[in-house]
Structure 1
């Protein structure tokens, strides 16, 4: 049986629905396109999938 959970995007506050979520799952916000990572399932909570400090800098 599929469980549909929903939570707000931390970037744009759009409601993001996720079927059968699990911690570590990455989803994309349908409104702003931000990639989010599930950090808690009950209640469903997201955080940014990519920490800006961990992203490689472009070659100069």
Structure 2
């Protein structure tokens, strides 16, 4: 990844559990279960809110397709 791509990735908005659930077509509870079991993308706290990096979600999806 080039420096420009890394900089752009850093500025990309973080995903909320609601956004992830809608994007993946599953319930928010499923998002929480996947993350807590360590089998999917990590959710991390930003203040009191849970967020995920879209790059982690994309990487996880690529692994699922392989």
TM-score normalised by the chain length of structure 2: 0.25
Give the structure-1-normalised TM-score.
0.26
Higher relative contact order (CA 8 A, sep 6+): 2
